[in-house]
Amino acid sequence: MVIYKAAIVGLGRIGNLFDRDPKIKNKPASHTGCYLAHDNIELIAGCDINNDRLEDFRKDSGIDKLYTDYKEMFDKEDIDILSICTHNDSHRDICLYACEKGVKAIFCEKPMAMSLKECDEMIETCKNNNVHLVIDHTRRFDNSFILAKKLLDSGKIGEIQKVDSYATVGLLNGGSHLFDLLRYYVGDAEWVSGKILHDETTDPGAYGVIGFKNGVHATFDCRWRDYCHFKVDLIGSKGILSVGGMIRSGKNIELFKIESSEGESGIYELKEDKIEEVKSLSPYLNAVKNIVEALNKNEINQESGYDGKAALEIAMAFYESHDFGGNVKVKLPLNDILRKVKARETSFTKDGRLLR
Ligand SMILES: NC(=O)c1ccc[n+]([C@@H]2O[C@H](COP(=O)([O-])OP(=O)(O)OC[C@H]3O[C@@H](n4cnc5c(N)ncnc54)[C@H](O)[C@@H]3O)[C@@H](O)[C@H]2O)c1
Q: Which atom of ligand 1 is nearest to the CA of 93?
A: 31
* Residue 3 CA to ligand 1 centre (angstroms): 26
Atom 5 of ligand 1, residue of closest alpha carbon: 14
Long-range contacts of 253-259 (CB under 8 A, 24+ apart): 253/144, 253/147, 253/148, 253/151, 253/277, 255/151, 255/156, 255/157, 257/156, 257/157
Is the CB of residue 252 less than 8 Å from the CB of residue 197? no
In ligand 1, the atom with minimum distance to the C-alpha of 91 is 41
CA separation, residue 250 to residues 6, 176, 277, 316 (Å)? 29, 21, 9, 31
Q: In whole angstroms, give the CA distance from residue 108 to residue 307.
A: 12
Note the pLDDT of residue 355: 66
Which is the closest atom of ligand 1 to the Cα of 173?
43
On the 0-12 / 13-18 / 19+ scale of CB atoms within 10 A, 265 is: exposed
pTM of the model: 0.97
47 lines ligand 1 (CB under 6 A): yes
Are 9 and 84 in contact by the 8 Å Cβ rule? The answer is yes
The beta-strand segments (E) located in the chain are: 4-9, 41-47, 66-67, 81-84, 105-109, 132-136, 160-168, 189-197, 205-212, 217-223, 231-236, 239-244, 253-260, 268-273, 330-331
Pocket test for ligand 1, best of 8, 14, 90, 312 (most atoms within 8 A of CB): 14
Looking at residue 245, its pLDDT comes to 80
Ligand 1 neighbour 174 (Cβ under 6 A): no
Q: Which residue owns the Cα nearest ligand 1 atom 2?
A: 138
Residue 309 identity: K
**pLDDT of 280:** 67
Domains along the chain?
4-139+283-302 (3.40.50.720), 140-278+303-356 (3.30.360.10)
Answer yes or no: is the C-beta of 10 below 6 A from any ligand 1 atom. Answer: yes
Question: Are 241 and 185 a contacting pair, CB within 8 Å?
Answer: no
Distance between alpha carbon 144 and the CA centroid of its chain, in Å? 15
Give the pLDDT of the chain (356 residues) as one tens digit per residue.
Answer: 899 999 999 999 999 999 999 999 889 999 999 999 999 999 999 999 999 999 999 999 999 999 999 999 999 999 999 999 999 999 999 999 999 999 999 999 999 999 999 999 999 999 999 999 999 999 999 998 999 999 999 999 999 999 999 999 999 999 999 999 999 999 999 999 999 999 889 999 999 999 999 999 999 999 999 999 999 999 999 999 999 887 765 568 999 999 999 999 999 999 999 888 777 689 999 999 999 999 999 999 999 999 999 999 999 999 999 999 999 999 999 999 999 999 888 888 888 887 65
Edge-to-edge order in the sheet of strand 205-212: 268-273, 253-260, 239-244, 231-236, 160-168, 217-223, 205-212, 189-197, 330-331
Mutational test site, ligand 1, from 16, 87, 179, 203, max ligand atoms within 8 Å of CB: 87
Distance 221 CA to ligand 1 centre (A): 25
Ligand 1 mutation pick, 86, 201, 341, 355, max ligand atoms within 8 A of CB: 86
